[in-house]
Chains A and B, each alone.
Chain A
Amino acid sequence: MITLYAITDHPTPPVPRLGEMRVVPSGDLAAVCGPVIKGEVTAEALWQHEQLVEALMQDRDVLPVRYGTCLPDDAAAERTLQDNHAEFAASLDTVRGAVELAVRVFAALDRAHVPTPAAAPMTGAEYLRARARSAAEESDATVIVHSPLARAARACTVARVNRPGELLRAAYLVDRDQTAPFAAHVKEIQEGNPQLRITCTGPWPPYSFAGS
């Protein structure tokens, strides 16, 4: 069994001497593979995997593969590249020269706690109005934070929020040399909006833009 880290062009610069990574080519694409790493899935394991993909990203464009993807052998990797050639080639073109930046927006601390029926009894109307307020806050965060950032990015995706107090969770595909200006833009938006708490992490390999 082998594990897949990323899909790249072929030919590609020599891969870093890390994690026993090696290149399995097929036509003008290649899969960067390594031995399956056994053991529990821990934060450390995830970061270690990520470091390998980021090391690859330093010297080339990559389509990162979902963590834990395994194939029986090199032949299977070649077949995968052949079977999905058009899709992989198109995705690689989409992310050429770009990295991913992740943005999350939370309500400011004093507003993060939405009263729940369990915490304090409320009428039906109060509940629905509280839900409406949450929906409005999410909508505001989208307009205030997402819209301007989306304009500054090559592409973007927005995920559904699922944590209390979370108003927006988005990913932006940004040219490699635009990371600092993008971060500055985030800072500017934060400074103008104390009712929000904004985080921005990256640069990441373009995980959110690698699929079909």
Chain B
Amino acid sequence: MSDKYLHRPSGLDSLGDPLPSIDRVLPRRLNADPENLERGLAQLVLTIVELLRQLMERQAVRRMDDGSLSDEQVERLGQTFMALSERMAELREEFGLEEEDLNLNLGPLGNLL
């Protein structure tokens, strides 16, 4: 394996979470094989839900930052997003999907997320 590093910070050994082995790093693509249809569709649906979740969260953060939300609204929105985030984690686990799997490779269009 050639050394492709042009720059690396010192102490990279302790990068926090250990980086995963190759089968975790390789993204799993949407599989339209009929036998795996259910899992592939779960991946598709969860990816879209994840996209919406990220968009909504970002919108909420923007409105929180520009002061257009009351404290109560911030709290309620935060609770909702936390619950949604936990539910997403449960659904991912149910289908054996990792966070990195919730992406769609659209070929020439690049990745969705």
A201:B4 contact, CB within 8 angstroms: yes
B74 interfacial by beta-carbon distance below 8 Å: yes
Interface bits A195-212 vs B (CB < 8 Å: 1, else 0): 001111110100000011
With A109-B16, A128-B81, A132-B64 known as contacts, the answer to whether A198 contacts B76 (CB < 8 A) is no
Task: Tell me if A186 and B7 are in contact (CB < 8 A).
Answer: yes
Question: What's the dominant secondary structure at chain A's contact region?
Answer: mixed
B65 beta carbon closer than 8 Å to chain A? yes
Question: In the complex, are the beta carbons of B15 and A106 less than 8 A apart?
Answer: yes
Expressed in whole angstroms, the Cα–Cα distance for A122 and B99 within the complex equals 22
Closest to B63 in A: A128
A51, A126, A186, A197 interface centre (most CB from chain B within 10 Å): A197
Q: Residue-by-residue, is A71-105 near B (CB-CB < 8 Å gives 1, otherwise 0)?
A: 00000000000000000000000000000010000
Bound complex: CA A125 to CA B80 (Å): 11
> Does B52 interact with chain A (Cβ within 8 Å)?
no
Q: In the complex, which residue of chain B has the Cβ closest to the Cβ of A124?
A: B78
Q: Which residues of B contact A109 (CB under 8 A)?
A: 11, 14-16
Partner of B113, one of A128, A160, A197: A160
Total interface residues on B, using CB and 8 Å?
42
CB of B38 within 8 A of chain A?
Answer: no
- In the complex, the answer to whether B57 meets A124 with C-beta atoms within 8 Å is no
Among residues 171 to 212 in chain A, which have CB atoms less than 8 Å away from a CB atom of chain B? 179, 182-183, 186-187, 190, 197-202, 204, 211-212
B113 to chain A, nearest CB (A): 5
Q: How far is the CA of A51 from the CA of B4 in the complex (A)?
A: 11
Considering only CB atoms, which chain B residue lies closest to A41 in the complex?
A: B26
Query: How many residues belonging to A are interface residues under a CB distance threshold of 8 Å?
Result: 45
Interface string of B70-95 (1 = CB under 8 A from A): 01001111111110011001000000
Contact of A204 among B4, B57, B89 (CB under 8 A): B4
Task: Point out the residue from B5, B64, B86 that lies within 8 Å of A118, measured CB to CB.
Answer: B86
- Residue of chain B at shortest CB distance from A164: B17
Q: Give me 6 A-to-B residue pairs in the complex whose CB atoms sit less than 8 angstroms apart, sorted by A's number.
A: A47-B2, A124-B77, A128-B61, A128-B78, A162-B99, A200-B5
Which residues of B are at the interface with A, using a C-beta cutoff of 8 A?
A: 1-2, 4-9, 11-12, 14-17, 22, 26, 57-58, 60-61, 64-65, 71, 74-82, 85-86, 89, 99-100, 103, 108, 110-111, 113
Residues of chain A having any CB pair with chain B under 8 Å = 41-44, 47, 51, 101, 106, 109, 112-113, 117-118, 122-129, 131-132, 135, 159-160, 162-165, 179, 182-183, 186-187, 190, 197-202, 204, 211-212
